[in-house]
Amino acid sequence: MAAAASPPLLPLLLLLLAIASMTQCHGHKRHQTQHHHTKAPMKTTGANMPPATAHAICHATPHPAPCLAAVDAAATSTKAPVVDMSAVSVNLLPPNILSVALASLHGALSTLTSSVSPALSALSSAGAGSPWVASLRRGAAQDCLDLHASTLRSLARAASLLASGSDDLPNVDVPVYKTNIALVGDGRDATVVTGSRSAADGWTTFRTATFGVSGEGFLARDITFRNTAGAGAGQAVALRVNADRAALYRCGVDAHQDALYAHSLRHFYRECAVSGTVDVVFGNAAAVLQGCALLVKPPIPGQSNVLTAQGRNDPNEDTGIVLHNCTLDAAAVPPPPGTRTFLGRPWGPYARAAVVDSYLGPVVDAEGWVAWPGAEAGRGDTVYFGEYGNGGPGAGTGGRVGWAGVHQMGYDEAAQFAVENFIYGDEWLGATSFPYDTDV
């Protein structure tokens, strides 16, 4: 556990937080190019910044004099407390350093709350016996308190490091007020969160989710979410996401019916493996799956597999499911011969789905799309199911179902489903550090 912050270092903490805050803001600038292999530049901290930089930042604060005094005092103090507090700056930087700083991220918020807040509170109420304290109390201490509070609310990103094999976390739900959570595992084959709720046990589809997310800004990487209820248990969700600006990278989602519930708002999934049977990906979010593998498993006898089930109920909704540069094929244990697998079916009357630049394996049925059981007549004419630039044995379009809502798109139509246009990814994906392709 880090040592408690001493008063001479508190304005230095202010510097660290200010630097991290500025870096966080710069990280949200519009993405102009793809950054698949670009490493983030090294960040400057208060411990090693040039004096001119420190002085410039101090002069930009409401109380430059005590800030400068604290910087000078910190320069002559021992380095151990600064090292202890380095977790603060690491934790507040954008998440593009998660892969190299997980240990520092883990528990940094609790350390801040338990050690920094009491010191700041004590300082703000201290007497005026010391000239240094007297000058600081006139504003700098309150600045620290305010910045610390706002940082914990909106700038800090909570990170949970799940150790290898930590699979005893069933039915977790991240509430709407828990924003900017980053969940990081040791690899989707090593870190698996499991649950077994299902409709057969009386749960609603929404509540069957092994892991549910309502807080915006959620990130996950290198972890698998699994529902083990089985093919005959009905709806049994592995992962449900009803949060805006949620992104997953190199994750696994494994279940049977209703594996990934892309419930609502904007999502991005990159290089994930999603496996199931009926309605593998379903919901009414604006969701882009890019570079993912959608894999079908054996359903119950006589049942067909369906890869998408989109639930748009109004033609004005900007929602849909996009499979871009994905692989659509059989899982390691494939469906038995004769099992039909469809690209999608219309859960809602204005369902929208697009399959773009993807590999369609031999499991994909020649008709491509299938009706929703019991749907009103003509639903196939009000949906929008588009295909563009696909390859593989299942990509032939000559035998596709003849609905008016099934489209063989050109580039201009397909471009509407690109990350930059469909989920406005250039405005928020850059801050995640996850790779993405802006165009189709």
Residue 108: pLDDT band by 50, 70, 90 thresholds?
low
The arithmetic mean of pLDDT across residues 384-408, rounded, is 97
Residue 312 has what pLDDT? 97
Residue 171: pLDDT band by 50, 70, 90 thresholds?
confident
Mean pLDDT of the chain: 77
Residue 122: pLDDT band by 50, 70, 90 thresholds?
low
The arithmetic mean of pLDDT across residues 373-387, rounded, is 94
Instruction: State yes or no: pLDDT of 2 exceeds 60.
Output: no
Rg (alpha carbons) of the chain, rounded to whole number: 25
The arithmetic mean of pLDDT across residues 47-58, rounded, is 53
Instruction: State yes or no: pLDDT of 432 exceeds 90.
Output: yes
Residue 143 has what pLDDT? 63
Instruction: State yes or no: pLDDT of 61 exceeds 60.
Output: no
Which of 187-201, 257-271, 284-298, 320-334 is the least confident region?
Answer: 187-201
Which of 10-24, 96-110, 271-285, 425-439 is the least confident region?
Answer: 10-24
Instruction: State yes or no: pLDDT of 107 exceeds 70.
Output: no
The arithmetic mean of pLDDT across residues 84-108, rounded, is 38
The arithmetic mean of pLDDT across residues 61-79, rounded, is 54
Residue 49: pLDDT band by 50, 70, 90 thresholds?
very low
Share of the chain above pLDDT 90, in %: 59
* Per-residue pLDDT tens digits for 174-229: 999 999 999 999 999 999 999 999 999 999 999 999 999 999 999 999 999 999 99
Instruction: State yes or no: pLDDT of 37 exceeds 90.
Output: no
Residue 132 has what pLDDT? 55
Which entry of 143, 244, 254, 279 is annotated as an active-site residue? 279
Instruction: State yes or no: pLDDT of 21 exceeds 50.
Output: no
Residue 44 has what pLDDT? 38
Which entry of 143, 222, 254, 258 is annotated as an active-site residue? 258
Note the Cα 139 to chain centre separation in Å: 38
Residue 70 has what pLDDT? 55
Residue 85 has what pLDDT? 27
Instruction: State yes or no: pLDDT of 18 exceeds 90.
Output: no
Instruction: State yes or no: pLDDT of 22 exceeds 90.
Output: no
Instruction: State yes or no: pLDDT of 146 exceeds 90.
Output: no
Residue 252: pLDDT band by 50, 70, 90 thresholds?
very high
Written as six digits, the tokens of 59 are 């002069």
Told to judge if 279 belongs to the known catalytic residues of this protein, a careful annotator would answer yes
Query: Full-prediction pTM beyond 0.85?
Result: no
Which of 14-18, 70-74, 267-271, 374-378 is the least confident region?
Answer: 14-18
Residue 254 has what pLDDT? 98
Task: List, in sequence order, every residue forming a beta bridge with 391; answer none if it has no partner.
Answer: 359
Residue 90 has what pLDDT? 29
Share of the chain above pLDDT 70, in %: 61
Told to judge if 437 belongs to the known catalytic residues of this protein, a careful annotator would answer no
Instruction: State yes or no: pLDDT of 104 exceeds 50.
Output: no
Instruction: State yes or no: pLDDT of 269 exceeds 70.
Output: yes
Residue 45 has what pLDDT? 38
Residue 17 has what pLDDT? 40
The arithmetic mean of pLDDT across residues 118-137, rounded, is 55
* Per-residue pLDDT tens digits for 331-349: 999 999 999 999 999 999 9
